[in-house]
Structure 1
Amino acid sequence: MAEAKVFRNYDAPDVSVAVKEHYRKMRKNQTVAYVRQMHDKYLKFDKPMDLWEAMRHLNSLIDVSDPDLDLPNVQHLIQSAEAIRADGRPDWMQLTGLIHDLGKVMFLWGSDEDGTSQAEQWGMVGDVFVVGCALPDSCVYPEFNKTNPDMQDDRYNTALGIYEAGCGIDNVDLAWGHDEYLYQVLNNHQTNTLPEEAMVMIRYHSFYPWHSGGAYKELLSEKDEKYLEIIKDFNQYDLYTKSQQVYDLEDVLDYYQPIAEKYLGTGPIFW
């Protein structure tokens, strides 16, 4: 019997130096002030782009934070969507699988300085965490937590930080990345009719310190228990479908385009 593939093993000897360096930079630079700066920069919704044009741009991006896959990111998206489709899950979930990483298109307008470029991705990809409160040990490479300047600020370095107990994850600020970017873009999109479950999958799929690490119990609300079920369901397709199988987006476009038009309309998305 073939040995089962182990995913997200950041201590494996074959994990690249670039992966660890990515998380070092992310932990050092993603502060409350930085996240607010990225919201101001990116959430203007003034860059109209066709959905499929955005998808094709991900042929040019390999996620440097991913220890499991070194293919262009569009391949991961199609792999996820096709696995969801093969299991007969709802069409909205298939579309969610196809677009869940589409926020990485921010590299088109990004810069090395703020970590949103092809070369410097620490403001775009990787596991996210809450800014404005103590960083948990469930973060990847927790030894980097102490390098975050906010952890030397008494406003931000306690379990609750700037938040109230039980406020819920909808009411905290996460490290900036492709999840929050796409969520905010779709939330601002006038013809978006994706269900709440899809929006939860998009917004929180990279929030591993919470959904896989069990952190932030002080902040969670009853609603977050439902969110956790949704994310764990989606995670099996986000994580365990990664392979070296290569698809051509044009070959699956005829199937997914009507679904996209059903939930997102036919006009451009405003990034």
Structure 2
Amino acid sequence: MEEKTFRNYDAPDVSVAVKEHYRKMRKNQTLDYVRNMHEKYLKFDKPMDLWEAMRHLNSLIDVSDPDLDLPNVQHLIQSAEAIRAEGRPDWMQLTGLIHDLGKVMFLWGSDEDGTSQAEQWGMVGDVFVVGCALPESCVYPEFNALNPDMQNRTYSTSIGIYEKGCGIDNVDLAWGHDEYLYQVLNNHADNKLPEEAMVMIRYHSFYPWHSGGAYTELLNEKDEEYLKIIQDFNTYDLYTKSQKVYNLEEVLDYYQPIAEKYLGAGPIYW
């Protein structure tokens, strides 16, 4: 596919499910919801091997993705192999391989909070800042008004509950796989991934900012460096999507030593 064909949410062949996903996400992802999800999911009490988690993504298709209808593990391998083919650092190859791994929350998720296979609005899709006004750069901005927080005077201004120039490390984003994996790895004692990798993991779905140019009043100088990191990673996250199918077991021999180098050989606590 040519680059211009990616993320065209107005294309005739975009499924009704994609648009409905974003409607539910915008309606349900409030500040209170996000804080509740942090409380619910960030207990780090579920030990699971990295490769077991990868294999579980053979069972998940991301309903929010208008470009790819393959099991999510295929997108991860496609991203990693593209990074590898261009000779980028081994830590970045591993980041490409695992960047969506937070989606394993569907294993213990629920329809009610949007973290199941059937209801994914609390797990996948472009994220936005909660606790302040929703920008027009959100996918389907016509759904912004459905968010109950937009009826709250404090939450509906351009900076909302935050301080001007606070930086995106200090805001609450809509709950999803990015923040979940970031927090899981941040808690992982054996994590030796560099800061750049953690930025890629945490903010790769934050499209209203890194592609839409929103939230300028909240940004600081550090975010300028973050933007360069994310835009670099985005070329592999977005433009490597294809119908090519890989076998995870066949690439394990290459990626396992890299994973052990940066994440250790033991289980990760989810």
Task: Tell me the TM-score normalised to structure 2 length.
Answer: 0.99
Aligned 1:63-142 pairs, distance under 5 A: 63-142=62-141
Map of 1:86-235 to 2, 5 A cutoff? Answer: 86-235=85-234
1:159-209: CA deviations, max 9, x gaps? Answer: 010000000000000000000000000000001000000000000000000
- 1:64-101 per-position Cα deviation (integer Å, ceiling 9, x unaligned): 00000000000000000000000000000000000000
**Aligned counterparts of 1:3 and 1:222: Cα–Cα separation in 2:** 33
The offset of 1:5, in angstroms, is 5.5
| C-alpha contact 2:3 2:239 (8 A) present in aligned 1 | no
What is the CA–CA distance in structure 1 between the aligned matches of 2:221 and 2:45, rounded to whole Å?
A: 36
Verify: 1:236 aligned to 2:235, yes or no.
yes
Deviation at 1:3, TM superposition (A): 6.3
Query: Which residue of structure 1 aligns with residue 254 of structure 2?
Result: 255
Distance 1:199 1:6 in 2: 28
Q: 2-side partners of 1:64 and 1:3: how far apart?
A: 21
Aligned residue in 2 for 1:51: 50
Q: Distance in 2 between matches of 1:262 and 1:3?
A: 35
Whole-Å separation in 2 of the counterparts to 1:116 and 1:11: 25
User: Is the CA contact 2:127–2:205 (under 8 Å) kept in the aligned structure 1?
Assistant: yes
Q: Provide the alpha-carbon RMSD of the alignment.
A: 0.8
Q: Is the 8 A contact 2:132 2:156 kept in 1?
A: yes
Matched, 1:13 2:1: no
Amino acid corresponding to residue 44 of structure 2 in structure 1: F
CA distance in 1, matches of 2:242, 2:206: 22
Q: Structure 2 counterpart of 1:195, which letter?
A: P
Q: What code does the residue aligned with 1:47 have?
A: K
Q: Secondary structure at the match of 2:134?
A: coil
TM-score, normalised via structure 1 length: 0.99
Cα separation, 1, equivalents of 2:219 and 2:4: 32
**C-alpha separation in 2, matches of 1:255 and 1:266:** 15
Residue by residue over 1:89-117, the C-alpha shift from the partner in whole angstroms, topping out at 9 and shown as x without a partner, is 00000000000000000000000000000
**Alpha-carbon displacement from aligned partner over 1:196-227 (angstroms, at most 9, x marks no partner):** 00000000000000000000000000000000
**Mind listing any 5+ residue stretches in structure 1 that lack a counterpart?**
none
Residue identity opposite 2:160 in structure 1: G
In the alignment, is the contact (CA less than 8 A) between 2:26 and 2:147 conserved in 1?
yes
CA 1:94–1:9 in structure 2 vs 1: closer, same or farther (change >3 Å)?
Answer: same
Residues in 2 aligned to 1:4 and 1:145: alpha-carbon distance in whole angstroms: 27
Equivalent position SS for 1:160: coil
What's the secondary structure of 1:200's corresponding residue?
Answer: helix
2:172, 2:2 → 1: CA distance? Answer: 39
Runs of 4+ residues over 3 Å off in structure 1: 2-5
Q: Distance in 2 between matches of 1:4 and 1:63?
A: 20
Percentage identity across paired residues of the two chains: 88
